[in-house]
Chains A and B, each alone.
Chain A
């Protein structure tokens, strides 16, 4: 009897949906601003040269408020079916571009907000042939919601190791061309003064 009662109480917790780690570093510790000089990264278990990041004197590495171009609310839409991102400020389309969502790990659909921004950080994950360890990942905007915690490490970010946007190519994050990521990084907001960060909606089904 006692065993049945105990199992019944435990059941909801055991069956809870486990969110995979998009970035094993952020699953172990809080992400932080980090740049390395003349580093070598690993992507798909192969060495990849890492671009150096030279920060301008006044550059804020963890900016909060982004630039404002109109009065509307900022909202980023990621369409997994078309592998595109559209950023709106009210009805004004601020930018639209191709992205790469998850190939080796799924990009979770849902409504999110940005919870932190870093000019650059290190990311690692994957296994065997798709192992990666990448310093200086630029223009990182981590997002989360009630079901996908910040520690799962999902983010929008710039990408220097591939150029195959418009096609799934990531481990779950939303990869962007560096110039596109820089533009949206400057524009999007992290939480500040009781206001939540820029909203992100990820929807659609990846081509099968």
Chain B
């Protein structure tokens, strides 16, 4: 009886060892030997003067002549080019087109303006149409300051959906990081539980 038990334990131990080794070999077996990832130069994220829409059908161009910045939308299908905005920039301010400027459905675009103190963000309708307040753009920074006074905008990163601009902000007291959505049609800010890093 004792011999039988020892034999059984030996067999089970061998099976367990086999299963263990087999599983570990399977896990560690590389599919291919990968070369070290190349050193990658960061993609130009800002200060671009031209950006295609996500579907490639339209192009946003920012042209600067001396102190005058002009914003144009062109369509690849009919080669039409429409100016939707122009602004005199002083030396300490500069406009740029962010990488995620276009809303996913091509309806809106946003620009970033660097100033010595804060960054401004302006949203336009790509059609060139005016917003309901008869302005050609919505100043996100201005509205945010007025409606969400406890937070400061750190960055506007892109679009969460066709209408929602993503704003990363921090609290004035305590540096608490929070993301907001800015709903362009209603011009309302929505505080989020998720922080979009």
Contact = CB atoms under 8 A, between A and B. Distances in A.
A82 B160 CA distance: 19
A43 interface: yes
A177 B100 CA distance: 9
Given A8-B12, A146-B31, A167 B161 contact: no
A160 B197 contact: no
Interface string A97-131: 11000010000000111000000000000000000
Contacts of B15: 9
Interface in A16-63: 16, 43-44, 46, 48-49, 51
A9 B196 CA distance: 44
A146 B29 contact: yes
A201 B37 contact: yes
Given A79-B40, A88-B38, A96-B40, A9 B56 contact: no
Contacts of A48: 161-162
A8 to B, nearest CB: 6
A162 B197 contact: no
Contacts, number: 120
Interface in B1-51: 12, 15-16, 19-20, 23, 26-27, 29-32, 34-35, 37-38, 40-43, 45
Nearest to B30: A111
Nearest to A96: B43
Nearest to B16: A8
A46 B181 CA distance: 14
A97 B26 CA distance: 34
Interface string B133-149: 00000000000000000
B157 interface: yes
B19 A12 contact: yes
B104 interface: yes
Contacts of B55: 51, 160, 178-179
Interface residues of B, number: 41
A86 B23 CA distance: 33
Contact of A9 (B16, B43, B54): B16
B30 to A, nearest CB: 6
Contacts of B20: 12
Given A82-B42, A96-B43, A5 B12 contact: yes
A82 B39 CA distance: 12
Given A48-B161, A77-B37, A168 B196 contact: yes
A204 B29 CA distance: 21
B128 interface: no
A199 interface: yes
A160 B104 contact: yes
A162 B99 contact: no
Contacts of B42: 82, 84
Contact of B159 (A49, A162, A201, A203): A162
12 contacts: A9-B16, A12-B19, A12-B20, A112-B31, A147-B27, A160-B105, A162-B159, A163-B159, A164-B100, A167-B196, A179-B55, A207-B197
Given A5-B12, A179-B55, A204-B37, 16 more contacts: A12-B20, A79-B37, A84-B40, A84-B42, A97-B43, A98-B43, A98-B45, A160-B104, A163-B103, A163-B104, A164-B157, A165-B99, A166-B99, A169-B160, A203-B37, A206-B197
Interface of A: 5, 8-9, 12, 16, 43-44, 46, 48-49, 51, 75, 77, 79, 82, 84, 86, 88, 96-98, 103, 111-113, 145-147, 159-169, 177-179, 182, 196, 199, 201, 203-204, 206-208
5 A-B pairs closest in CB distance: A164-B158, A179-B56, A163-B159, A145-B31, A207-B197
